[in-house]
Chain A
Amino acid sequence: MSLTAAPRLILLAAAVVAFAGGTRPAAVSAQDKPGNKAAVEPASAGRELYEQICQACHMPDAKGGMGAGTGVPALAGNAHLADKTFVIARVWHGYGGMPRFGALLSPEQVAAVTTYVRSHFNAYPDPVTVEEVAKVADGAPPQVACNCTH
């Protein structure tokens, strides 16, 4: 996944100085993989990003689903999303089975998609800004005390 984004990363690093040499996850190697680089690009608007990426697990209605553990968490009506830092960190760094998107998405895209999820599936209308994403992306992921999000 991070391989796909490599050329874009260079552009991003130039544009967002804060990320050059920052905490972008290193590329993974050696696993079984198809072997080509698709030309598909992530969208820029929050809703399209949700449909392209998030609903692969969280489902179109953002209600998640049952699994062998506690399942895919619902994003709709999820009180954790009140905390912007929490949701940005989950998207950027990953956590548990949740993939890290720091290598695939730009801070602008993370801001757009988290704003969409917080406002459309929850009642948190204030937008997530690129600066807020930059702050979390450059720092360590926050440690939650409980295992309650999963």
Chain B
Amino acid sequence: MFDDLTAPSRRSLLAMIGRAGGSLAMYQAMTSLGHAADSQFSGPPKLSGARPGASVLVLGAGIAGLLSAYELMKAGYKVQILEFQGRTGGRNWTLRGGDTVTEIGGATQTVGFAPGNYLNPGPWRLPYHHQTMLHYCDELGVELEPFVQLNNNAFIHSAKAFGGKPQRHRELVVDFNGHVSELMAKALNQGALDQQISKEDKEKLLVAMREWGVLDKSDRYTSSIHVADRRGYDRAPGGGVGGAPIASSVNGLSDVLDSKVWNLIGFYLEYVMQQTMFQPKGGMGRIGDAFVKKVGHLIRLNTRVTRITQDDKGVAAEWTDAKTGQTGTARADFMVCTIPASILAQIPIQVSAAKQAAIKALPYNSSVKIGLEMKSRFWEKKYHIYGGHSFTDQAINLISYPSMGFFSKGPAVLLGGYPFGLGAYMLSGMTPEKRIEEALRQGSVLHEEYRDEFLKGVSVAWSRQPWIMGCCAEWTEQTRAAHYQNLASIDGRIVLAGEHVSYYGCWQEGAATSAIDAVTRLHQRALAA
């Protein structure tokens, strides 16, 4: 219907609909114009006209805190940020040669990577529909490059499949589709589904099974050059006299089932895991750094907030300097608190009982990332794997190959392990040296040259990071119903923001959209005061 309307621009049309039908009508209209469905982001907040002298205290210098401070500063507020760590960015973090990581228990690692090499121990990829993050990268001049997500030539390994021999992703997916379509075709040919579907649909479905599964003339999934055109060859096509390809042999159904390849087919179909995916050039930490260029002068580092209070005149945060032991109290008219709930649950904060309960109802899951610097890119040269991930059912869960610097000489860094769940607890509970040893042992199953090529390693066990003691907040449907709105509401002069105050948990997009929502509401509150 909108295609017929040529006179008003899309923007003025949307404004008209917004006025007439309210924001839901506007949202639905945007969706039908193809704008909004994949993101709630509709542009940065347009805050302006802060009352002269009005001030906001921001706790935490992660993405949520930095974004809040940036937008409030632009709106005219006097802003101060208190940050516990000696660095900015929070979970937005890149480790490079010379950096140190100290964990609960005191173990300290110094990163030994060569110049230019890095590990993103936390966030590492940005889906194309995380429009808020992409917007700020654009606005702040953070250069993005492709992050290779699906690599059909990477491995899938399971100790219980193929005698423990890693298989190429491509071969298992094609075999899985082939066997499933053969069985489906069999059921259709035997009339087993005649009650369920019409004759016409049955014919179409049979065609689909033959084409999707590359079935032979008798509707069977068998080795052939046509199948090899998908799953690969024993001898690839070439030129000249020996140019003819030789087909590869398909795997049997039960071997393919043992590999549980459907887990990964499903994984790459998840909305947040689809291409196109991006990463900042030089490391994810570049995003935090870019915000700091704007608001760095407002940040007090090494400042551990120990108590949060408010009254009808303003807010106060008591703090202790983590380096010098000096104490103090920061005051302002309003507060945006982005301290992770795992930590905030341990800090006295003067908010309603309902908000206190919400803060304490948010367990944090655990994760580990292990970076391994290797002498050369053997995964490219020998295995022809350029970016993407190989999966294993061992505790390390995956090996991920760098998405940049292809074909370059010299050392490069692999992500040598990234487990959640039990594997994460198991690896976190080890010393940093033992984690590297485990990553090398388990990784050697996929790449035999691992130990010969290994140079330096570093690991971050998220549950042992003193400033968060976990990876991300873990909501359930029950806790969402009981606590989410209580966590997000403005309480007097305090609003909470961060990944944990979003439905985009464990994504920077969640931290960013939460911050935008929080400062927008706080600004309205401040103007109304």
Q: Is B474 part of the contact surface with A, judged by Cβ < 8 Å? A: yes
Q: Is A75 part of the contact surface with B, judged by Cβ < 8 Å? A: no
Could you tell me the distance in whole angstroms from the C-beta of A76 to the nearest C-beta in chain B? 14
Contact indicator B418/A56 (Cβ below 8 Å): no
A-side contacts of B429, CB under 8 Å? 51-56, 60
Could you tell me the distance in whole angstroms from the C-beta of B45 to the nearest C-beta in chain A? 24
Query: In chain A between 54 and 103, which residues have their CB closer than 8 angstroms to a CB of chain B?
Result: 54-57, 59-60, 64-72, 94-100
Contact indicator B474/A100 (Cβ below 8 Å): yes
Contact indicator A30/B466 (Cβ below 8 Å): no
Contact check: which of B270, B344, B463 meets A56 at CB < 8 Å? B463
Contact indicator B420/A34 (Cβ below 8 Å): yes
A-side contacts of B423, CB under 8 Å? 38, 40
A57–B424 Cα distance when bound, in Å, is 11
Contact check: which of B264, B343, B476 meets A69 at CB < 8 Å? B343
Closest to B124 in A: A32
Contact indicator B363/A94 (Cβ below 8 Å): yes
B-side contacts of A100, CB under 8 Å? 363, 474
B-side contacts of A5, CB under 8 Å? 421
Among B61-69, B171-179, B190-198, B503-511, the one that faces the other chain is B503-511
Q: Is A16 part of the contact surface with B, judged by Cβ < 8 Å? A: no
A5–B341 Cα distance when bound, in Å, is 25
A-side contacts of B504, CB under 8 Å? 30
Contact check: which of B363, B425, B469 meets A72 at CB < 8 Å? B469
Knowing A1-B365, A57-B469 are in contact, say whether A42-B422 is a contact too (CB < 8 A): yes
Contact check: which of A1, A26, A32, A56 meets B461 at CB < 8 Å? A56
Could you tell me the distance in whole angstroms from the C-beta of A61 to the nearest C-beta in chain B? 9
Contact indicator A66/B104 (Cβ below 8 Å): yes
A-side contacts of B474, CB under 8 Å? 1, 28, 94, 99-100
Q: Which of A42, A53, A100, A104 has the most CB of B within 10 A?
A: A53
Closest to B357 in A: A143
Could you tell me the distance in whole angstroms from the C-beta of A36 to the nearest C-beta in chain B? 4
Closest to B423 in A: A38
Chain A interfacial positions (CB closer than 8 Å to B): 1, 3-5, 23, 25-26, 28, 30-42, 51-57, 59-60, 64-72, 94-100, 104, 147, 150
Contact indicator A28/B343 (Cβ below 8 Å): no
A-side contacts of B424, CB under 8 Å? 56
Chain B interfacial positions (CB closer than 8 Å to A): 84, 104-106, 123-125, 158-160, 260, 263-264, 267-268, 270-273, 304, 339-348, 360-366, 389, 391-395, 397-398, 418-426, 428-429, 461, 463-464, 466-470, 472, 474-478, 504-507
A96–B500 Cα distance when bound, in Å, is 12
Contact check: which of B104, B397, B421, B505 meets A1 at CB < 8 Å? B421
Contact indicator B476/A96 (Cβ below 8 Å): no
Contact check: which of A1, A31, A39 meets B159 at CB < 8 Å? A39
Contact indicator A1/B343 (Cβ below 8 Å): no
Closest to A28 in B: B474
Contact check: which of B264, B365, B428, B506 meets A36 at CB < 8 Å? B264
Contact indicator A39/B394 (Cβ below 8 Å): yes
A31–B502 Cα distance when bound, in Å, is 11
Contact check: which of B104, B348, B365, B506 meets A99 at CB < 8 Å? B365
Knowing A42-B422, A56-B464 are in contact, say whether A25-B476 is a contact too (CB < 8 A): yes
Contact indicator A69/B345 (Cβ below 8 Å): yes
Q: Which of B344, B389, B425 has the most CB of A within 10 A?
A: B425
A to B CB contacts below 8 Å, 12 in the list: A1-B365, A30-B272, A35-B391, A38-B394, A38-B423, A39-B160, A68-B84, A69-B344, A98-B363, A99-B366, A104-B422, A150-B345
B-side contacts of A67, CB under 8 Å? 104, 343, 346, 466-467, 469
